[in-house]
Amino acid sequence: MNQILKQAEKTIIPSEKLQREKDAIVERVVKLVQKQVTNYPQIAGIEIGGSFAKGTWLPEKADVDIFIKFRANVSEKEFSELGKKIGFSTLKGYGPYVRYAEHPFVEAQINDTKVNLVPCYDVLEGNWKSSADRSPFHTRYMIRSLSAQMKNDVRLLKAFLKANGIYGAEIARQGFSGYVAEVLVLNFGSFEGVIKAISKLKQGQIIGNAAKSFDTPIVIMDPVDANRNLGAAISTENVGKFVLAARAFLKKPSMSFFIPKKRSQKASSTSLKNILVLTFRYKQRSPDIIWGQLKRAATSITTQIEQEGFSVLRRSAVISENNTASLLFLLKSRKLDQHHVRTGPDFFTAAHVEKFVESNKKKSTTMWISGEGKIHSLQRRTNIDAVLFLKNLIKKNLAKSGVPVGLKNDIKKFRITDGNKITSKSIKEAAQELVSTDETIFSS
């Protein structure tokens, strides 16, 4: 393993030349920000944050976060509006644009570096007014806590997570953030320590010091906020992928765990034809908002499909060019038998039997007592074709579909495509992932 880690380190530690280039960009932007904020008494100061300030950044992903610290008595409205105004004024020569987290912030691309100007409140630790308020405390905590070697171990862990498709805290990914990687290395001492610990992870295991209990597959406590569980933002699937990837790496260490590439995929026995793709255009909105709506819509529609007797094995969502969104549903089968059996109570429970017979007799083609003594009813299904059911659900029963209100106007104009008739590259990749096995983490 040591040989592999030494080899991987060579690819994840920025060169001195790259470090100087990033330093120059940061120095330039800091001067621009300082020039702007001197005009506003509402600003208490600025602070460089994120992985760049902490020395845990990867060469190919060197975003720079600069926090504009507002005095605590500034209203939320002024906080948002002034944060954007300062951001645009500062970065006006670099094509700035707005992005959204809890509050809007301004981003621009300078050469190959994304620079984020993020408003936060200048508060005492624990007196948070916005989610960004913790970030400067995170930066200071990690600067004083991580050794030089631990910083490189964080880089190794980030590269490992990225190569296995589970890096990134954005709602579209629901993976492990850079800060979580830092917290894990701090808790377990090294990259190897993290991998060994994760390979033996227990359900609901708590990493760090928790002030209260949490109900998530993994609990990762924020060291600057004992009430905040960083694991709440990570999907169960991504936790599982990390566990299996860690076990596979320990079993057979390889550079392939650190290099993003298309994994060796073994097609499952379930064909692409059993994937239904629901596609529609949406009005422009922030990535976090649209992804949240898509995920809720996918969950609600899955519930509706399964209530009709279809089995949804997996689901996903993808955003393509021109504000096009697609929801993908992998079914066990697109067609069902014309009849299904409803099982009732055993014949000894008189009241329950009477209720079951009364509510099912008219719908039954046959009713009988099984060898186990239970009442059974054979009934004709209302829907046996998943495509027709999904079309009717969106066209005629959208109000009852569970689709978020903010998405309903967009989804009214839709099309449904079979998985084997997809033409879009991004949707094809998402469909292929649904019916494939990642041979790296499912190694034998």
Confidence band, pLDDT 50/70/90 cuts, at residue 441: confident
- Asked whether residue 371 carries a pLDDT value surpassing 60, the answer given is yes
Q: Does 288 fall in a domain?
A: yes
> Closest Cα partner for 290 from 401, 390, 172?
172
7 found inside a domain: no
In a shared domain, residues 76 and 155: no
pLDDT at 265 over 90: no
Co-location of 182 and 156 in the same domain: yes
Q: What is the pLDDT of residue 227?
A: 92
Are 295 and 327 in the same domain? Answer: yes
Is 4 within a domain?
Answer: no
Range(s) of the domain holding residue 362: 339-380
pLDDT score recorded for residue 269: 55
Does residue 343 share a domain with residue 329? Answer: no
Q: 75-81 — which CB contacts under 8 Å span 24+ positions?
A: 76/103, 78/42, 79/103, 79/119, 79/121, 79/130, 80/104, 80/119
Residue 10 CB neighbour total at 10 angstroms: 7
pLDDT in the model for residue 440? 80
The CB density around residue 409, as the number of other CB atoms within 10 Å, is 11
**Cβ atoms of 158 and 118 closer than 8 Å:** no
**Pair (171, 224) in one structural domain:** yes
235 and 120 inside one domain: no
Dihedral of the CA atoms 176, 178, 181, 185 (nearest 10)? -170
22 part of a folded domain:
yes
- Tell me what the mean pLDDT of segment 122-130 comes to: 94
Residue 175 within a domain? yes
* 292 lies in the same domain as 392: yes
| Count of other CB atoms within 10 angstroms of residue 365 | 10
pLDDT at residue 179 greater than cutoff 80: yes
Residue 263 has pLDDT above 80, yes or no: no
Query: Which pair of tokens denotes residue 183?
Result: 């917290």
Asked whether residue 92 carries a pLDDT value surpassing 90, the answer given is yes
User: Residue 92 maps to which CATH number?
Assistant: 3.30.460.10
At 380-408, the pLDDT tens digits run 999 999 999 999 999 999 998 999 999 99
Q: For residue 264, what pLDDT band results from cuts at 50, 70 and 90? A: very low
Question: In this predicted structure, what is the pLDDT of residue 197?
Answer: 98
CA distances from 405 to 101, 298, 322, 408 (A): 21, 14, 22, 5
| Alpha carbons 148 and 145: distance in angstroms, whole number | 10
Asked if the structure places residue 138 within a domain, the reply is no
Evaluate whether residue 245 is within a structural domain. Answer: yes
CATH label of the domain that carries residue 272 = 3.30.70.590
**Predicted local confidence at residue 99, as pLDDT:** 86
Three-state DSSP class for 67? strand
Examine the domain organization and report whether 156 and 69 are in the same domain.
no
Residues 6+ apart with CB under 8 A from 18: 59, 62
| Amino acid at site 313 | L
CB 137 within 8 A of CB 38: no
- Whether 139 maps to a domain, the answer reads no
39 and 164: one domain?
A: no
Query: What's the whole-number mean pLDDT along residues 137-142?
Result: 97
> Which positions ≥6 away from 237 have C-beta within 8 Å?
none
Give 293-332 pLDDT, tens digit per residue.
999 999 999 999 999 999 999 999 999 988 999 999 999 9
Domain boundary among 213, 242, 261: 261
155 and 222 together in one domain:
yes
Amino acid at the residue 423 = T
Are residue 37 and residue 89 in the same domain, yes or no? yes
Residue 261 is predicted with a pLDDT of: 66
* pLDDT tens per residue, range 336-364: 999 999 999 999 999 999 999 999 999 99
Answer with the one of 237, 261, 285 that is the final residue of a domain: 261
pTM attached to this predicted model: 0.88
**Residue that has been written with the tokens 């993003």 in this structure:** 260
User: For 208-237, what is each residue's pLDDT tens digit?
Assistant: 998 889 999 999 999 999 999 999 999 999
Residue 387: burial class (beta carbons within 10 Å; 0-12, 13-18, 19+): middle
- The pLDDT of residue 268 is above 70: no
Residue 286 pLDDT grade (very low, low, confident, very high; cuts 50, 70, 90) = confident
Q: Are 154 and 298 within one domain?
A: no
Give the Cα separation of 57 and 162 in Å (integer).
13
| Residue 438 confidence (pLDDT) | 82
Domain count of the chain? Answer: 4
The pLDDT of residue 442 is 82
